[in-house]
Each structure stands twice: as structure tokens, then as C-alpha cells.
Amino acid sequence: MRLKIIGSAAGGGFPQWNCNYRLSRAARTGMAGVHSRTQSSIAASVDGAGWVLFNASPDIRQQIAQTPELQPAHDAPLRSTPIRAVVLTNADVDHVAGLLSLRERQPFAIYATTQVLATLEANSIFNVLDPALVPRRTLPPAEELAICDADGHDTGVTVESFPVPGKIALYL
């Protein structure tokens, strides 16, 4: 299993756009040892060729640009991606907004709990992801599930969802 941390900051990234804390100022001025970071997300692969993203932050374009493994191969068709699926851990804006950047008629599967899928369904902007190309699949609670691509081929990645305490997304 290969894991890539493609973002490690809280919602809004680091520094956040409106934060004037000393470390945020240091990141903006390029102080040694203080680096800007994109919002949290990881990528997992069993074979190094097909990847499963965990969450799709608003920074997804930058994260793909900074991660060669997530970019189309040089000999790939004009429109292609090694991203086979996206697993959403919740419906927070910093975990779902990046889906909108993945709308260019490219097949991949979305996995999420029933509640998160209902949130996507209730917000019509997510309809830019054509269900014929981007199937939405339910993560059953407390049960292991093999993650498959849009065509149903097993990626080799298995997940188990479980509830964690926390607050509901502010926009819900």
C-alpha cells in the first residue's frame, strides 16, 4: 500500500486567508521552516497506478499539480486520470468542494455515508458530476468495503467507515 499525504492543513489551508497570527505572517513572507500547506487529504494506491483520494479539498487542483502520481501519464489519452475513486469522510466544505474541480467528464467513483451522499444530492451544484460517469456509492457503517472504480473494478483499497464525534458542517 502506498499512501501520499497531499494536504495536511485544516480547513482553509495554511495560512488561512484571514489569519494574522505570527506563523501565518511567517508563511506569507517565506520564513525558513514555515511552509504553506493545502487542506487535508491523502491518496492511497495498491499498485502505484490507480489512486483513491480521501476527501477532495478545494485545493485539489494544486494537490494534483504537486503530485505526479495523480497526473495523467505521458502516454495516456487526452483526457485521463489515475484517480479511480474519492472517499468522503464527511460533508465539510473542505472535504467536498474539490469534487467540483473533477467535473471534466472523467469517470471515477464517489464513496460516502448515506448522510454525506444525501448532502451532495441536496446541493444541485454537485450535479456537474454526471452520474453515468461518476457513480455515488454508499459506505456501510462498521463494515469493510472494497473500493472500486467507476466501472466496478476493485482498486485493491479496502475501507471501513465508523462514526466519530464532532460538529456538523456549518452550512448544513
Q: Which CATH number fits the domain that encloses residue 68?
A: 3.60.15.10
* Residue 136 falls inside a structural domain: yes
| DSSP state for residue 98 in the 8-state scheme | G
Predicted local distance difference test score (pLDDT) of residue 171: 76
Domain count of the fold of the chain: 1
pLDDT the model gives residue 25: 94
Q: Where are the beta strands (DSSP E) in the chain?
A: 2-7, 41-45, 51-54, 83-87, 109-112, 136-138, 144-148, 154-160
Percent pLDDT > 70 in the chain is 100
Please report whether residue 124 resides in a domain.
yes
Name the residue among 52, 57, 61 with its Cα closest to residue 90.
57
- Of 44, 15, 16, 43, give the one whose Cα is nearest residue 31: 15
Contacts of 145 (CB under 8 A, 6+ apart): 111, 139, 158, 159, 160, 161
98 found inside a domain: yes
Domain limits for position 137: 41-160
Whether residue 22 has pLDDT greater than 90 = yes
The answer as to whether 87 is a domain residue is: yes
- According to the model, what pLDDT value does residue 38 have? 94
In a domain, 81, yes or no: yes
Asked whether residue 166 carries a pLDDT value surpassing 90, the answer given is: no
Residue 145: CB atoms within 10 Å = 16
Output Rg (C-alpha) for the chain, integer angstroms. 17
Does residue 115 carry a pLDDT above 80?
yes
Dist CA 33 CA 35 (whole Å): 6
Distances (CA, A) of 89 to 105, 111, 126, 171: 23, 9, 17, 16
Strand pairing report for 41-45 and 51-54: antiparallel
Asked if the structure places residue 96 within a domain, the reply is yes
In a domain, 29, yes or no: no
Classify residue 8: in a domain, yes or no: no
